Amino acid sequence: VIDRLTPERRSALMRNVKSRDTTPERTVRSLLHRLGYRFRLQKKDLPGTPDIVLPRHRSVVLVNGCYWHGHSCRNGRLPKSRLDFWGPKIRANRQRDRRNLRDLSTAGWRVLVIWQCEVKQEKALRKRLLAFLREKCRSTI
Ligand SMILES: [Zn+2]
């Protein structure tokens, strides 16, 4: 994949990716809502200020952008240009993700990580959410 974006354009794109109210996150929220689960958004007192928190289930759902969080799928591939710039940033994000996951787990929270590329497959996503909230599966990065 050739990176055709200018550095400025990519920076703008990354700012968008990083912003909280992304479409994949909205999709997951509305699905949870339809399944009858109630949740809170961005509990600031939890490690990493997780996106979706279900206090009654002591559970957290994280919706990760593939690029920004360095997923192993094709969307998570780094651009060939400016690799020196984005490489360390995304590595740092991944390190922070792992630390947050560990801290949440230590504090007794169950964590489900959903990747942006998984959100489009609604049937599979619904299955995973239900399995997780019925405490039948665990997920790590
Ligand atoms: Zn992905």
Tell me, in angstroms, the distance from the centre of ligand 1 to residue 17's CA.
13
Calpha distance 3→1 (Å, rounded): 6
Tell me, in angstroms, the distance from the centre of ligand 1 to residue 15's CA.
18
Write out the two tokens for 12: 């703008």
Does residue 50 register a pLDDT over 70?
A: yes
Tell me, in angstroms, the distance from the centre of ligand 1 to residue 116's CA.
6
Calpha distance 140→50 (Å, rounded): 14
Q: Which comes out higher in pLDDT, residue 114 or 18? A: 114
Give Cα separations from 97 to 9, 61, 64, 72, 108 (angstroms).
Answer: 25, 13, 10, 14, 17
What is the identity of the amino acid at 8? E
Tell me, in angstroms, the distance from the centre of ligand 1 to residue 6's CA.
23
Tell me, in angstroms, the distance from the centre of ligand 1 to residue 134's CA.
24
> What is the pLDDT averaged over residues 114-132?
94
Tell me, in angstroms, the distance from the centre of ligand 1 to residue 72's CA.
6
Does residue 140 register a pLDDT over 50?
A: no
**pLDDT tens digit sequence for 54-107:** 998 999 999 999 988 999 998 888 777 777 888 899 999 999 999 999 999 999
Q: What percent of the chain has pLDDT over 70?
A: 82
Report CA torsion sign: 108, 112, 116, 120.
Answer: negative
Does residue 17 register a pLDDT over 90?
A: no
- pLDDT score at 51: 82
Does residue 128 register a pLDDT over 50?
A: yes
Tell me, in angstroms, the distance from the centre of ligand 1 to residue 129's CA.
17
Tell me, in angstroms, the distance from the centre of ligand 1 to residue 117's CA.
4
